[in-house]
Structure 1
Amino acid sequence: MTAAESDAVAAVAIVVPVHNEAALLGGCLAALDAAIAHTRRTHPGVRVVTVVVLDACTDASAQIAASWPVQTLHIDARNVGTARRLGVAAALAALRDVPLGATWIATTDGDSTVPAAWLSHQLDVRAAGVDVVLGTVRPDFADLTVEHAAHWLATHPRGRPAGNVHGANLGLRADVYIAAGEFADLDQHEDVELVRAARAVGARVHATDEAEVVTSGRFWGRTAGGYAAFVRATHERIEREAQG
């Protein structure tokens, strides 16, 4: 890892990959706007750049993003790892005058909504000496059956985060990100691979559920093995158990 480990965060690069999320993107960006406003109160002086990466979008996602104070990047990769990597590169370019050791990268997804304290919590954890923050994600209970929602709550006790890696709720120092080799051009698990590489270069990793992100509870997502596949598999298991 590079130096500047004791530097306070001076800037944040937020990256949101999007592929045809017109139905949910407005809620995602409204939540991010509220989180940024909250962070400006709790961490005055920290610069924030948000990049929305519109990857092969054929719906109204671009028009929705244009109505918010974000930078947009249009690509045609159809690959979430590539989208995250190019988004981070664009955000870091906009913050090129800030040392990497004083820059924080935070990622979420276009089908997700962050809580108001999402970013400020990551910065507080960073101030305690952490290099990578693994936040928890839960499905939107409005998309689930009562039984499925109850199962999720029973198996995810508060204060005991499992330490799973979710690109929808991930933060890390920019110099650690570069040392770890950046997001790979993978169509799934690019977040898991990045954190694995960060651990390999000695990053201090912290799991927390204090700023949990809500993501779509849909069963069929943008990648074959993403969060939607996990939600679907959980639902199918609950259905089988209910049928005896």
Structure 2
Amino acid sequence: MRRIGVVVPARDEEDLVERCLRSVVTAAEAVVGAEVVVVLVADGCTDRTAAIARTIPGVEVMVVRAAGVGAARELGARRAIARGCSWIACTDADSEVPAAWLVEQLRLESLGWDGMIGTVRPDVADLSEVEQEHWLATHHQGHPNGHVHGANLGVRTASFVRVGGFRALAEHEDVDLVERLRASGAWLIDSDEVEVTTSGRREGRTVGGYAGHLRRVAAMLGDMDPAVV
């Protein structure tokens, strides 16, 4: 049976993890002819993230001690690979994937692509009106920007293993992986076909990341004190 793995690192995401995992399960249910292995890595959580994740049927939960997002994503990927997955799809616990998310990645795998660099959109409920207008003005459907997001990333297992997988970085482990994939000659596609909705919060679980980007945008728009960026 063909298998695709989904890896979700999480740290103290009790408020959002259920929404994330239920969206992943919905995407898995849309897959025909392949098994989906979902692994959530509860990384140094001090809240109910792991307990909530265990209530979602079909989700395997790994609990680790504050390994960091790079190491956590790698542990989840290696677990999926051990289960025989030929493709690894990554998202984040504060994100919500569309129903066709995995179907599209399996299609790209069948076409010979080694990786998908997907786009994300912030949850508009978390943005001010000015931020919403700025986002809409700078993002256009059908023109993916090529920015790398761990919340919407897919990679062929063989290519992932060949370049050494995710490194144990405190952040930007996704960007680092893609750089090494590109250097190896991997065939990567930028795509906004299955855009992922992610939290628009300004305080994330890493110093930078998408939350850091949103802080910088807010400061630029005058919605946030530049001193706190």
Query: How many angstroms does 1:129 deviate by?
Result: 2.0
Aligned to 1:13: 5
Aligned to 2:227: none
Query: How many angstroms does 1:93 deviate by?
Result: 1.4
Structure 2 counterpart SS, 1:200: helix
C-alpha RMSD over aligned residues = 1.4
1:214 maps to which of 189, 197, 200: 197
Query: How many angstroms does 1:240 deviate by?
Result: 6.8
After superposition, what is the alpha-carbon deviation per residue over 1:78-116, rounded to whole angstroms, capped at 9, x for unaligned? 400000001111111122xx6xxxx01000000000000
Structure 2 counterpart SS, 1:33: helix
For the 8 Å contact 2:7–2:90, the answer to whether it is kept is yes
Aligned to 1:122: 105
Query: How many angstroms does 1:74 deviate by?
Result: 0.6
Unmatched 5+ stretches in structure 1:
1-8
1:51-130 → structure 2 map (5 Å cutoff): 51-68=39-56, 69-95=58-84, 103-130=86-113
The letter for the 1-side match of 2:176 is: E
1:60-209 → structure 2 map (5 Å cutoff): 60-68=48-56, 69-95=58-84, 103-209=86-192
Structure 1 Cα separation of the partners of residues 151 and 63 of structure 2: 20
Structure 1 Cα separation of the partners of residues 181 and 67 of structure 2: 25
For the 8 Å contact 2:45–2:66, the answer to whether it is kept is no
1:49 aligns with 2:32: no
Structure 1 Cα separation of the partners of residues 110 and 30 of structure 2: 17
1:235 aligns with 2:225: no
The letter for the 1-side match of 2:81 is: L
Structure 2 Cα separation of the partners of residues 120 and 164 of structure 1: 22
Query: How many angstroms does 1:10 deviate by?
Result: 1.7
After superposition, what is the alpha-carbon deviation per residue over 1:141-198, rounded to whole angstroms, capped at 9, x for unaligned? 1000011011101101111001111110000100000011110000111000101111
Structure 2 Cα separation of the partners of residues 227 and 195 of structure 1: 17
Structure 1 Cα separation of the partners of residues 147 and 2 of structure 2: 27
Unmatched 5+ stretches in structure 2:
225-229
Structure 2 Cα separation of the partners of residues 198 and 238 of structure 1: 35
1:34 maps to which of 26, 30, 39: 26
Judging changes above 3 Å, is the alpha-carbon distance between structure 1 residues 220 and 78 closer, same or farther for their aligned structure 2 residues? farther
Aligned to 2:15: 23
Q: Which has the higher helix share?
A: 1
Structure 2 Cα separation of the partners of residues 135 and 123 of structure 1: 14
Structure 1 counterpart SS, 2:15: helix
Query: How many angstroms does 1:122 deviate by?
Result: 1.2
The letter for the 2-side match of 1:85 is: E
Aligned to 1:6: none
For the 8 Å contact 2:10–2:43, the answer to whether it is kept is yes
Structure 2 counterpart SS, 1:163: coil
Question: How many residues are treated as equivalent by the alignment?
Answer: 223
Structure 2 counterpart SS, 1:116: coil
More displaced, 105-114 or 74-83?
74-83
